[in-house]
Structure 1
Amino acid sequence: MTQVKISADRFGPWALVTGASSGIGREFARQLAANGLHVVLAARRTDTLAELGAEIESRYGVRHLAVTVDLSEASGPDRLAEATSSLDVGLLVSNAGDLTPGEFLSLDLRHSIDSLQLNAYSHLVLARVFGRRLADRGRGGVVLVGAAGAEHGIPWLAAHAAAKAYTNTLGRGLHAEFAARGVTVTVLAPGPTRTELQSRRSLPDSVGMTAADCVSQALRALEAGRGMVIPGVVARVMNRLPASLTRRIAGRTMAAAAAQESAR
């Protein structure tokens, strides 16, 4: 993998990465640190954040701040804003998210509400809070992590896909608005990506691109000022297929994963 260079002057000195404890978020933290940015690491797992913080400080000579926060709680974004109030944050990577395949009517309603909070509402609030701070600076960036094909709807993952579709749409709209303030907004809409989450949710872990390649493409798009990036050939091809076909394909995958989750 070739290291993607982004402008530390535009997007530094600090970057904030939510969902930093694993997968795409962890890789964002590593690649941003490799660009010389100090990194705020936000997630629910304190011990994992401490390990990652020590790693990037030792390897890249940058500083880090670990913030333990649950963004599925309504107070999460405000707590994160308060924890970073003294830092000059030039880049927000709003990546925190989770999914649990299952039949909508069988899942607890609270689960679907929490999914909406985590996968949509938290992105909205963080984009607003940090967007204002970036606009006052007159430069910076926001990466919102949505999902490829979410607008098509995904059976056995309906609430999650709906929340991700909101994030996709929010980011595309903000791309134009924030550009007038000198701030770049890029939506990262990944398809299947080989991460801990994919394995943990009984999804095929041999399918998809690596987190490193996914993040490299996202940073390349951010540096170029693009409004959206769908990394990976498979995801881009799927995104161009008729919605009815992608729903059928994705639905079969999620139904199988839901059955395995139920059996466990």
Structure 2
Amino acid sequence: MEQATFTARYGPWALIAGASEGTGAAFARQLADKGMNLILVARRARPLEALADELRARVECVTASIDLAAVDAAEQLQGIAAGREVGLLILNAGADPNGAMFLDVEVASWDALVARNVVTVTRALHAFAAPMRARERGGLMVVGSGACYGGLPGIGVYAATKAFDLVLCEALWAELEPHGVDVLSFVLGRTDTPAHRELMAARGIAVPDGLADADEVARLGLARLPFGPVCNWGEADDVAGMSASSAAQRRERIRRISATFSTDAKG
């Protein structure tokens, strides 16, 4: 998509949650290259502000240090965005910092993960999608994980939250497509980010070869945003690898079900 077309469709402001490093920072740099103003959000203020300083020579850039597990996180996102037309929301935060079996940490740790990946995601999508629907343009992206396609020991709660995000995005894509709003669940595999390297180090695991490059990941996500509801990193649209169904098959299934509901409603 040409830069002017992209900005007209998703501008003038983009809000990126989880923007301080890795794929979040890559999204920010690529959107700045497209001339989009940025609202950058992360928990750690220092790397976030360093990124903003880098980008302010090209675009307007504001930052906010927000813990996305906080009860009022979505309200804080709305607060920092107040008075700015946010045409693109990228929810990129939500890694699992626990690295533990379900019963080996206090339940409060899982509560925080659910709050970050389910409650805040739901509330933020609801808040920012409404004005996009009214304007009949905009984009919503939730960065997910291949863990969404099945539970595994040690990441059960994380996988469950990512499954929630996937299904919600698919439903919102069907609901908002007629209103000109794009929705994408961007399902990643292992990506070379500082957070992933820290987690591997904490578990005493060597960093594997073949990790996805954060810049390439961000580039694909922005390119596939208009073609939701799902993009699986490393797979063609019609290839099923992470799950039993390809992204294309999931899309067509949702179209069929939506058409059935539409027919039932008319009847």
The interval holding the TM-score normalised by the smaller chain is: 0.7 to 0.9
Q: Distance in 2 between matches of 1:4 and 1:226?
A: 18
- The offset of 1:206, in angstroms, is 3.0
Partner SS state of residue 29, structure 2: helix
Residue of structure 2 equivalent to 1:177? 175
- The offset of 1:131, in angstroms, is 0.4
Partner SS state of residue 70, structure 2: coil
- The offset of 1:233, in angstroms, is 4.7
Question: Does the 8 Å contact 1:146/1:187 carry over to 2?
Answer: yes
Question: Does the 8 Å contact 1:194/1:206 carry over to 2?
Answer: no
Paired amino acid for 1:127: L
- The offset of 1:205, in angstroms, is 4.8
Question: Does the 8 Å contact 2:146/2:189 carry over to 1?
Answer: yes
Question: Does the 8 Å contact 2:192/2:213 carry over to 1?
Answer: yes
User: TM-score with structure 2 length normalisation?
Assistant: 0.83
Q: Distance in 2 between matches of 1:33 and 1:239?
A: 31
1:89 to 86, 90, 93: 86
Question: Does the 8 Å contact 2:147/2:162 carry over to 1?
Answer: no
Question: Does the 8 Å contact 1:147/1:168 carry over to 2?
Answer: no
Residue of structure 1 equivalent to 2:20? 21
Q: Distance in 1 between matches of 2:179 and 2:242?
A: 31
Q: What does 1:41-120 align with in structure 2 at a 5 Å threshold?
A: 41-58=40-57, 61-99=58-96, 100-120=98-118
Extract unaligned runs of 5+ from structure 1: 243-264
Q: Does 1:216 align with 2:219?
A: yes
Cα 1:4–1:187 change in 2 (3 A) is farther
- The offset of 1:25, in angstroms, is 0.8
Identity across matched positions, percent: 28
- The offset of 1:200, in angstroms, is 0.7
Cα 1:4–1:190 change in 2 (3 A) is farther
Q: Does 1:239 align with 2:242?
A: yes
Partner SS state of residue 189, structure 1: strand
Residue of structure 1 equivalent to 2:162? 164
Cα deviations across residues 181-216 of structure 1 (Å, max 9, x unaligned)? 211001111011110111110163534211111111
Larger RCO: Structure 1 or Structure 2 (Cα < 8 Å, ≥ 6 residues apart)? 1
Runs of 4+ in 1 over 4 A off after TM superposition: 3-6
Residue of structure 2 equivalent to 1:8? 7
Q: Distance in 2 between matches of 1:206 and 1:151?
A: 23
Paired amino acid for 2:213: T
Extract unaligned runs of 5+ from structure 2: 246-267
- The offset of 1:132, in angstroms, is 0.5
- The offset of 1:107, in angstroms, is 1.4
Residue of structure 2 equivalent to 1:135? 133
Cα deviations across residues 107-145 of structure 1 (Å, max 9, x unaligned)? 110001101111222111110000012112211100011
Question: Does the 8 Å contact 1:11/1:90 carry over to 2?
Answer: yes
Q: Distance in 1 between matches of 2:214 and 2:120?
A: 22
Q: Distance in 2 between matches of 1:25 and 1:4?
A: 22
